[in-house]
Structure 1
Amino acid sequence: MNNITLIGMPGAGKSTIGVVLAKVLGYQFLDSDLLIQKQEKRRLSEIIEEEGYKGFKDVENRVNASIEVENTVIATGGSVVYCEEAMEHLKSIGTVVYLKLSLNALSKRLGNLKGRGVLLREGQNLTDLYEERTPLYEKYADIVIDEEGKDLEASLEILLKTLKEK
């Protein structure tokens, strides 16, 4: 399959870059967080509030593991890397791209994490989340794009060049 799945921390630009990348490639665009909300008929923050940390991961795993598309750029939620079944499925249907950004740059971009529907355990902050998730993003990535100090166009240009070389 020839899909491109974008993974990375909240605020790394998965949805923003994903939409533009899809247009440039002539692909469809799918935001898996929006798919979760559509299937569950609730906002992410409501699912987390009502189902808890584990319940949300179960929903996220089920929805992402059931995605069946072609010629599509898929922007995932930042916590999808906790879902082994979903990640194996996404790798099997295309290329997984990790949009990498430093903790410092992310903290400048992000406001209220809970308001964004970010999956946090009790007492967890952005630094904890970054340190916990980074090795998982690196584990599942076929391609890593370092976005540090780059705007949307520069990140997109590097991503397109890297995809062409792959």
Structure 2
Amino acid sequence: MENQPGVILIGMPGAGKSTLGIQLAKELGFDFVDTDVSIQVHTGQTLQDIIDSSDYLNLRRIEEAVLLKTDCHDMVVATGGSAVYSDPGMNHLKEQGTVVFLDTPLEELRRRIHNYDSRGIARRPDQTLEDVFAERQALYEKYADITVLCDGLDQHQALESITKQLAARSS
């Protein structure tokens, strides 16, 4: 079973894309890539270092270049939360797989993110978590082929929801 369409996870920072992505890759027998890690390997800098040495828009430009080089076949891809700002990048990913939006409530994200100011989130300096959430929600919905409502779900339940919806799409 070579060259299967990939699964691309999108959502806010703290939504669980990396954690669930690894578990989903094991479940599907796919490889796993985290585009935030790819950016750091490509640049030799952390996401926050990129923002600090230039700005958040430069991080988004680098992110777009990484997205456009990513081959999603036989892969679970955990994107950075700001991937949805790149129309070319997201269209490239959608051509190669199913985009899954991990829709996580703002209250849960607040509980999970303790390092908002140093996490390397591509945002304007004046944007709060609430602002970023409000701005990105429509973009996540725009690109999603599948939406998993993560409110009240543990990791196992979220993974089960993803696999069930993927199976339903392919049948």
Common fold by TM > 0.5: yes
Matched, 1:43 2:46: yes
Q: What is the match of residue 72 of structure 1?
A: 75
2:117 and 2:26 mapped to 1: Cα distance? 30
1:151 Cα deviation after fit: 0.3
Cα offsets for 1:38-84 (capped at 9, x unmatched)? 11111111111112121111101111111124210000000111111
1:125 Cα deviation after fit: 0.4
Aligned residue pairs: how many? 166
Structure 1 stretches of 4+ moved >3 Å: none
State how 1:1-166 maps to structure 2 within 5 Å.
Answer: 2-166=5-169
1:109 Cα deviation after fit: 1.1
- Percent identity among equivalent residues? 43
Q: CA RMSD in A?
A: 0.9
- TM-score normalised by structure 2 residue count: 0.94
